[in-house]
Amino acid sequence: MVERTVTWGSATTWDSALRAAGRDVSAAHAAGAPAVWVFTVGEPPPERADVGELYVIGVAGTEVEAEQARALGVDEVVNAWTVSVVEAVRRGHALLRQRAALRETRVEIEAMTRAAQHREAFFALSLDMLCIADINGYFRQLNPAWSQLGWTFEELCSRPFLDFVHPDDVASTLEIMGKLTTSDFSTISFENRYRCKDGSYRWLLWASRTSHDAVHPEDRLYYAVAHDITERKAREEELRQQTEKLARSNADLEQFAHIASHDLQEPLRMVTSYVRLLEKRYKGHLDEQADKYIHYAVDGALRMHTLINDLLAYSRVTSQGVCLVPVDAGATLARALDDLRGVIEESGAVIEFDALPVVSADAGQLRQVFQNLVANAVKFTERGQPPRIEVRAVSEPGAPGLVRITVADRGIGIEKHHFERIFEIFQRLHGRGVYPGTGIGLAVVKKIVERHGGRIWVESEVGHGTAFHFTLQRAGT
């Protein structure tokens, strides 16, 4: 009767093998050849002992027992009375290491296979067009998103991909390809147009790079993703056309305003001269009604003269503006206040201002901005109260290089729903009999500030004053 004893562990000598089998060494030697002793090299979980993952050594005293051991399916049988079990165990360990290495390799291959399957899944799911192309200019792999161009994959892969590029974009695409092949792991973005099967073209935004692990340069590949930006390009083109149309319209308007105001000057001067002559010669010689008519005519001519001059100034903001250069805003403010000296002294206005920075500006137009804002601050004050005006400058929060200049007063204020309207041309909030003016001043100021790349806005509370803020670029930034 053959007894099979399975022991988990390892043995390096015959005596150790016996002990591992749970037998008394001396008793085994005395009894002669023992029954078939079977033990294994390694420590598997018990439930896996029969799957052949271990190296099983059989120890037999006779050839009959050896045959019986082989019948049990052991990996190797050794003679019980030699030390060849040591060599068998050594070979068993070596074989187990080989098997372990093979299992690790198999696990790695399975992991790589799963990762490749995951990549393929994402490759197929992407709404953008993904591709791999060789250095000769042919597609190697495409994802399903390419079907939106109308071509089959066979048609796309059978011709150089440059055949599908718009003729006007071929040169720039070749230039990018050259950069990609010489770049060091950098991704390059570019745009071009790709031809659809129906003959139309789609704008594509590309992000591309090349492989750098190829043994031979000719084995390098292009990896690229293309996003369809045709609709965005259409919107940009529409916006560009609208911008050009608006620019032409503004230019035409400015030209018209300039020509109209210039051409009206001469006939208006003639009308004004004759009306004043009429007033000088006949005022008091006719009845009271006639004197009133003459007064209306003179006043209307003078207001027309002022309006034309203001309209001319508005048209000149762009047409006669000079280049922006470093300008001392403090010195420019001082010159503007000197221009307004008569109005300031007559009203008793008190004007306080800090040191202002050097900004990038057209000195003449910046002077005009200060004149308009300070003059308005003096004008729109409760009657009988001396105007108090402050001019300050601070760095614009969150915008390095920009300076915010504020002209604030303690005047009558502006209702909130008029904040946008006051910057429109010919817009007035008060009758001419209350506060004189043409309604062009703030429109001119806004146009000047915007020409300088800044913006202007107002903060005000009725009865508590108004603050006009505008931004300019600090010189040297």
Residue 375 maps to which CATH number? 3.30.565.10
Q: Is residue 33 part of a domain?
A: yes
237-266 mean pLDDT: 76
Residue 177 φ then ψ, to 5°: -60, -40
Domain stop point among 203, 228, 253: 228
* End-to-end CA, the chain: 101
Residue 454 φ then ψ, to 5°: -105, -170
Compute the half-sphere exposure of residue 64: CA atoms within 13 Å on the CB side of its CA. Answer: 5
111-120, 298-307, 387-396, range with the lowest pLDDT:
298-307
387-421 pLDDT, tens digit each: 999 999 999 888 888 999 999 998 888 888 878 88
Q: Is residue 112 part of a domain?
A: no
pLDDT of residue 449: 92
Q: Looking at the structure, do residues 368 and 453 belong to the same domain, yes or no? A: yes
Compute the half-sphere exposure of residue 232: CA atoms within 13 Å on the CB side of its CA. Answer: 7
Contact, 325 vs 360, CB < 8 A? Answer: yes
Residues 76 and 85: their CA atoms lie apart, in Å, by: 9
Q: Is residue 36 part of a domain?
A: yes
Confidence category of residue 131, pLDDT binned at 50, 70, 90:
very high
CATH number reported for the structural domain that contains residue 183 in this entry: 3.30.450.20
Which residues share a beta bridge with 134? 221
Contact, 378 vs 345, CB < 8 A? Answer: no
Contact, 405 vs 391, CB < 8 A? Answer: yes
Q: Looking at the structure, do residues 137 and 96 belong to the same domain, yes or no? A: no
DSSP H or E segment with residue 275? helix 230-282
pLDDT of 207 higher than 80 = yes
Sign for the CA dihedral angle at 156, 158, 162, 165 comes to negative
Q: Looking at the structure, do residues 341 and 411 belong to the same domain, yes or no? A: yes
CA 311 vs. chain centroid, Å, equals 41
pLDDT of 25 higher than 60 = no
Q: Is residue 181 part of a domain?
A: yes
Q: Looking at the structure, do residues 431 and 359 belong to the same domain, yes or no? A: yes
257-300 pLDDT, tens digit each: 666 666 666 677 777 787 778 777 777 777 778 778 777 777 77
pLDDT of residue 472: 93
Higher pLDDT, 323 or 35: 323
Length of the chain: 477
pLDDT of residue 55: 54
Q: Which residue type, as a one-letter code, is found at position 444?
A: V
Residue 238: Cβ within 10 Å count: 10
Q: Looking at the structure, do residues 296 and 179 belong to the same domain, yes or no? A: no
9-18, 148-157, 182-191, range with the lowest pLDDT:
9-18
Contact, 344 vs 294, CB < 8 A? Answer: no
Q: Is residue 53 part of a domain?
A: yes
Q: Looking at the structure, do residues 56 and 73 belong to the same domain, yes or no? A: yes
Contact, 314 vs 444, CB < 8 A? Answer: yes
Q: Looking at the structure, do residues 467 and 434 belong to the same domain, yes or no? A: yes
Domain stop point among 274, 296, 319: 319
Q: Looking at the structure, do residues 223 and 245 belong to the same domain, yes or no? A: no
Domain count, the chain: 4
Contact, 393 vs 405, CB < 8 A? Answer: yes
Q: Residue 269: CB partners within 8 Å, gap ≥ 6?
A: 305
Q: Residue 424: CB partners within 8 Å, gap ≥ 6?
A: 443
Backbone conformation region of residue 323, classed left if phi is above 0, alpha if psi is from -120 to 50, else beta:
beta
Q: Looking at the structure, do residues 281 and 384 belong to the same domain, yes or no? A: no
Q: Looking at the structure, do residues 93 and 195 belong to the same domain, yes or no? A: no
Q: Is residue 213 part of a domain?
A: yes
Residue the block writes with tokens 């403010």: 333
R_g of the chain, CA atoms, integer Å:
48
409-464 pLDDT, tens digit each: 988 888 888 788 888 766 666 545 555 556 678 888 898 899 889 999 999 888 88
Q: Is residue 111 part of a domain?
A: no
Question: What's the chain's average pLDDT?
Answer: 77
Q: Which of 111-120, 162-171, 214-223, 320-329 has the highest mean pLDDT?
A: 162-171
Compute the half-sphere exposure of residue 383: CA atoms within 13 Å on the CB side of its CA. Answer: 2
343-381 pLDDT, tens digit each: 888 888 899 988 899 999 988 889 889 988 998 888 888
Q: Which residue type, as a one-letter code, is found at position 446?
A: K
Q: Looking at the structure, do residues 355 and 417 belong to the same domain, yes or no? A: yes
Residues 368 and 371: their CA atoms lie apart, in Å, by: 5
Q: Looking at the structure, do residues 305 and 364 belong to the same domain, yes or no? A: no
Is this model's pTM higher than 0.75 or not? no
157-167 mean pLDDT: 94
Q: Is residue 106 part of a domain?
A: no
Confidence category of residue 70, pLDDT binned at 50, 70, 90:
low
- C-alpha distances (whole Å) from 320 to each of 5, 333, 448 are 109, 21, 11
Residues 87 and 180: their CA atoms lie apart, in Å, by: 59
- C-alpha distances (whole Å) from 179 to each of 10, 167, 182, 186, 206 are 62, 20, 5, 10, 14
Contact, 59 vs 20, CB < 8 A? Answer: no
Structure token digits, residue 270: 């003639």
Range of the domain at 242: 236-319
80-89, 120-129, 206-215, 265-274, range with the lowest pLDDT:
80-89
Which residues share a beta bridge with 458? 468
